[in-house]
């Protein structure tokens, strides 16, 4: 073969192989509000673990070729498309496990089969009484663009709000209870280099046989696991197709509502600032004071004369929604610089364990 023809053949061959550029960014997630946060702050006065639960979690996402790593202070995950494996690293215990895609599929199938078997067993052991509630579950999923925008990670992002409600109605009593999730998202039309993440997710979906979408949270999937969720999944697919862009900032709320009304988004109804976190000494002092007062007999020595109670204030309207938890996730330090391949290596001295399989 002539030299020119050889060079041309090599050029054509290399052009047929997709080139994947490196890409990285940081994602910071933190619990920012809700009634559960208040309880966690109270527990944090006594427990270091409870205090850490309210700290921001910073994860560095790195993409190099057919490998993606999500690296945190305590745990990291490496997805390797060429090897068909997912490696989970525990930096606290200095241990790691490696699971193949096929093992992951088997795990999911085994977990679903086990859950169904346990449900059937419980139903046989505990037959439903005659007056058991007949519950009808109804889902509603909506996406709306608000027209608002803000600067996030150096780009202008437009706001869209995803609202989901799950209404459970007892057909006999007519009582209704509603769980709701609202995801307030700021979408950037494009981030230089983020197309590599999208392409990686498509390749992963082809190998795993799943659909990847970073806009679906575990909480949403948990709601959709309820009976009667078929219509809700269809709605979610249709509504998610309206979202255009990359979610560089998300503020997710989960809580309860009345009459199927959606949970207000963070931009529409900011949560009031909560009280400062008490110290362990303050909590103990308050508890001791309450115990002493409760031990005194009614009208006994040391009690002050009962003051006249103020006139009751005008009844406030019944709240229609309650936020159990609010969390915020945001991108930062977005980069197209080369990622060091050594970042994907298992740290020296870490022990490999066999992954726990569902029995």
Give the whole-angstrom CA distance, residue 77 versus residue 86: 7
pLDDT band at 279 (very low <50, low <70, confident <90, very high): very low
More confident residue, 33 or 218: 33
For residue 222, what is the enclosing H or E element?
helix 218-224
pLDDT band at 357 (very low <50, low <70, confident <90, very high): confident
User: Mean pLDDT lowest for which of 52-66, 107-121, 159-173, 312-326?
Assistant: 312-326
Q: Is the pLDDT of residue 251 over 60?
A: yes
What pLDDT does residue 221 have?
Answer: 54
Give the whole-angstrom CA distance, residue 333 versus residue 191: 12
CB–CB of 252/182 below 8 Å? yes
Query: Among 62, 38, 58, 60, which Cα is nearest to 50's?
Result: 38
CA 122 vs. chain centroid, Å, equals 30
Give the whole-angstrom CA distance, residue 240 versus residue 213: 9
Most confident of 68-72, 212-216, 222-226, 270-274: 68-72
**Parallel, antiparallel, or unpaired: how do β-strands 321-335 and 135-152 relate?**
unpaired
Which whole-number Å values give the CA distances from 304 to 59, 240, 245, 270, 307, in the listed order? Answer: 56, 62, 64, 41, 8
Q: Is the pLDDT of residue 291 over 70?
A: no
More confident residue, 225 or 262: 262
Q: Which two tokens stand for residue 288?
A: 């001791």
What pLDDT does residue 115 have?
Answer: 77
User: Mean pLDDT lowest for which of 263-267, 299-303, 326-330, 353-357?
Assistant: 299-303
pLDDT band at 301 (very low <50, low <70, confident <90, very high): very low
Give the whole-angstrom CA distance, residue 161 versus residue 184: 5
**N residues, the chain:** 359
Q: What is the tens place of the pLDDT at every residue in 97-147?
A: 999 998 988 888 888 788 778 878 877 777 666 665 566 778 888 999 999
Q: Is the pLDDT of residue 60 over 90?
A: yes
Residue with tokens 């945001």: 330
User: Mean pLDDT lowest for which of 190-199, 251-260, 294-303, 324-333?
Assistant: 294-303
Average pLDDT on 330-357 reads 94
What pLDDT does residue 96 have?
Answer: 97
Q: What is the tens place of the pLDDT at every residue in 187-220?
A: 999 888 899 998 998 898 888 765 445 555 555 5
Query: CA geometry: angle at 299 spanning 293 and 303, to 5°?
Result: 50
Which whole-number Å values give the CA distances from 159 to 147, 192, 247, 326, in the listed order? Answer: 6, 20, 9, 17
User: Mean pLDDT lowest for which of 39-53, 149-163, 181-195, 330-344?
Assistant: 39-53
What pLDDT does residue 310 have?
Answer: 56
Which backbone phi and psi does 354 adopt, to 5 degrees?
-80, 135
CB–CB of 48/39 below 8 Å? no
Average pLDDT on 79-90 reads 96
Q: Can you spell out the DSSP letters for 165-176?
A: EEEEEETTT--E
Average pLDDT on 297-319 reads 49
What pLDDT does residue 309 have?
Answer: 53
Average pLDDT on 83-97 reads 96
CB–CB of 77/60 below 8 Å? no
More confident residue, 191 or 320: 191
**Parallel, antiparallel, or unpaired: how do β-strands 135-152 and 246-257 relate?**
unpaired
Mean pLDDT of the chain: 77
Give the whole-angstrom CA distance, residue 63 versus residue 71: 11
Q: Which two tokens stand for residue 339?
A: 């990622």
What pLDDT does residue 149 have?
Answer: 95
Residue with tokens 């946060």: 37
Give the whole-angstrom CA distance, residue 217 versus residue 220: 5
Give the whole-angstrom CA distance, residue 111 versus residue 114: 5
Which backbone phi and psi does 350 adopt, to 5 degrees?
-80, 140
Q: Give the start-to-end residue ranges of the domains of the chain.
A: 18-114+134-268+319-353
pLDDT band at 356 (very low <50, low <70, confident <90, very high): confident
Collapse the DSSP code of 116 into the 3-class scheme (helix H, G, I; strand E, B; otherwise coil) and give the result: helix
CB–CB of 73/55 below 8 Å? no
Q: Is the pLDDT of residue 48 over 50?
A: yes
Q: Is the pLDDT of residue 22 over 90?
A: yes
Average pLDDT on 290-318 reads 47
């Amino acid at each position: 073969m002539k030299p020119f023809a050889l060079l041309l053949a090599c050029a054509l061959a290399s052009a047929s192989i997709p080139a994947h550029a490196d890409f990285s960014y940081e994602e910071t997630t933190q619990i920012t509000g809700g009634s559960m946060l208040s309880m966690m702050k109270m527990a944090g006065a006594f427990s270091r673990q409870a205090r850490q639960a309210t700290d921001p979690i910073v994860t560095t996402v790195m993409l190099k070729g057919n490998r993606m790593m999500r690296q945190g202070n305590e745990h990291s995950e490496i997805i390797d498309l060429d090897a068909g494996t997912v490696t989970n690293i525990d930096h606290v215990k200095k241990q790691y496990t490696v699971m193949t895609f096929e093992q992951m599929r088997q795990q999911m199938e085994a977990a679903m089969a086990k859950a169904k078997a346990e449900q059937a067993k419980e139903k046989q052991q505990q037959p439903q009484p005659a007056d058991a509630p007949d519950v009808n579950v109804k889902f509603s999923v909506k996406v709306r663009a608000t027209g608002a925008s803000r600067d996030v990670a150096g780009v202008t992002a437009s706001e869209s709000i995803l609202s989901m409600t799950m209404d459970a109605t007892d057909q006999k009593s007519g009582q209704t209870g509603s769980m709701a999730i609202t995801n307030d998202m700021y979408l950037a039309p494009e981030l230089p280099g983020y197309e590599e993440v999208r392409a990686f997710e498509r390749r992963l979906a082809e190998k795993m046989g799943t659909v990847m979408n970073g806009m679906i949270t575990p909480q949403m999937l948990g709601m959709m696991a309820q009976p009667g969720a078929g219509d809700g999944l269809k709605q979610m697919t249709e509504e998610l197709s309206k979202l255009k862009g990359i979610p560089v900032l998300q503020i997710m709320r989960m809580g309860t509502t009345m009459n199927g009304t959606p949970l207000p988004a963070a931009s529409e109804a900011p949560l009031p600032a909560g009280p400062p976190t008490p110290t362990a000494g303050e909590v103990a002092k308050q508890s001791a004071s309450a115990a002493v007062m409760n031990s005194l007999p009614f009208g006994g020595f040391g009690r002050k004369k009962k003051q006249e109670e103020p006139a009751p204030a005008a009844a406030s309207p019944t709240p229609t929604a309650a936020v159990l938890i609010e969390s915020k996730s945001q991108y930062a330090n977005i980069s197209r610089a080369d990622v060091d391949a050594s970042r994907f290596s298992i740290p020296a001295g870490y022990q490999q364990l066999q992954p726990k399989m569902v029995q």
